Structure 1
Amino acid sequence: MDNFSTRTFQHDYPNNPYIDAEYVSGNRIFYSKYKIIVLGYYPQNVKYTKKSKKSTQYQIPNEYIVKTEVADRMLHCKTKYISANKVLFTIKWKEDKAKWEVSSKRSSSEVISIFFKKINWEESKLSGIFVFGFDIEILHQERIKKLQKLDTERIVIDKRKRPLNKLSISQQNKRLISFGQDAYQKINQLILKQRLTSKSGKSIRICNIELEAENKIINLKYNLPVDITKLNTLVRVHDEALLGRDGYRKLAAVEPHLTCEYQIAQRRNEISKLINNQIPIEIFNIDQKSIIDEDEDYNNSDGILVDEHEIGNIN
């Protein structure tokens, strides 16, 4: 597929979920048909397709599902971000009554290659970009419109909601989580609008948002990577300083940038499990009376067996 014309699309999307594609390679005309199941969206840390000498890079949406036909099989192609910098590409299909599924964390083209090997099809250089339809311009425009819509929506205050300080701790947490999700979408839109990207096209990402409410600092964190070395150090400091959970929480209330207490507790449990696996601990019932052979002569009235040859001279 090195020599092909730009693909053209026939559609009435979003009124109609079906999209027809056509492109020319050599003297042959190729057709593809898509059914958009879920449009998906561009996350803040949007990833791009791999760049080759003759291809353009395309943004990879999250939670995107499309149905298309390849090798006489109807495929369901899906994308899902499994971390800040990893996308899982999945293909599902049916053969008779059996259901099959293959995945790849590297690229859409690799999962296509895995699919062809699975069905014992002749090796193909079919592009993952084409199969997943990442180059369909109307889908890209609709995802951008969704982001822009957030900026034009009229703010309506729900007066039925009680003020934050009138809620219980669990209700406050739910309210703040909802706020954090909305803020994520808004700021992500501004990042795309202002093109806050690196030279390679990678967008900047939000690490945390700090809020202040009645002299209380609230820190909303977004998928921060966990530093295992730092967690190990914190667990050791906790144990050596005999710093309890409540004490650390009070300290974190003053300094919100501290590592969350629950992460330290989880790491302590992981370390304990590793130690228990490497150093087995057996439990004995010491309440049971020792059974002693009455025919043997023991000079020790306490019932402790002593080998006299092991005792040295006592001055």
Structure 2
Amino acid sequence: MDSDTENVEYGVQIQETSTYPLNNNILYREHVNQKTKRSFSYVIIKEGIYPDKIVTRPSNKQKERTETLQDTSNIRRKRQSKQYKIPHGYVVETTWGRAAGKQTVCCEIDYIDEIPQFRIRYGPNFQYIISSTKSPSNVALIYERTLKPRTKTTLSGPLVFGLQLESVQKARESKRRGNLIKPADNCILSTLEKRAKKIATKMQSSFSSDIKGIYHQSDEVKLKAIEFSVNKTDFQVNFRYEDQIKKNSQIQSIVKTVDQGQISRDSYRELAAVEYHLPCENSVSNE
């Protein structure tokens, strides 16, 4: 799957070829006038996570000279600085360059006392290590100056670390959202009730759509109930198709029973959460 975005101001087209997380190999290219200006290939070793206190860093240090691209009018412009979220527990192998200039490094990011530590490992067995707590660009600069002290080439730290990869960002965000959902065992009764009703609503909508291609339009097809279990706890949601007059009559009867029996609002809420055929507590209390 290719993800193409274009920086119109600078005429840069970005191409990310990725099926991540199905395949952990990702190819990233930047094109100008349909010509590849630079490319990086990545192997995601550890995806990492976005911690609760996420640190963001610019694509290049604001006071550093950024990489530039030459347009058709021969004017050199600075590329706009971008912010990237810094993951924890992230490891990636990055390769760039051609022939004798080809380089492969292993990049790592870990948080220590809420401060991200950026490391680049290099050498035949990645036995040499360069680290920095400043930024990806800083450690990339140290790496480049270590190998070639006189070079004026500036590496993009975020590109070396693959922080711009959208497919990896989306995978982390998806897992982060999933981690925000509490396990059912840690939820109160009203939360479980809302989840059950949400599932029922989605299934009812899907059911109404599916029957159109199976039954004749004159057939009266109704979904009466669904049953499922969560951690060995059974749930049943009944769908009511009664008219409003009958429904109001039922609510009035329940209100009378609640008043006579002196059942508290909280007690009825708990009962309605278990017995899904009963009207919700708000319907009764509003009468």
Give the number of the structure with larger relative contact order, counting CA–CA contacts within 8 Å between residues 6 or more apart. 2
**Of the two, which has the highest radius of gyration?**
1
Greater share of strand residues, 1 or 2?
2
Give the alignment's TM-score, normalised by structure 2: 0.49
Give the alignment's TM-score, normalised by structure 1: 0.45
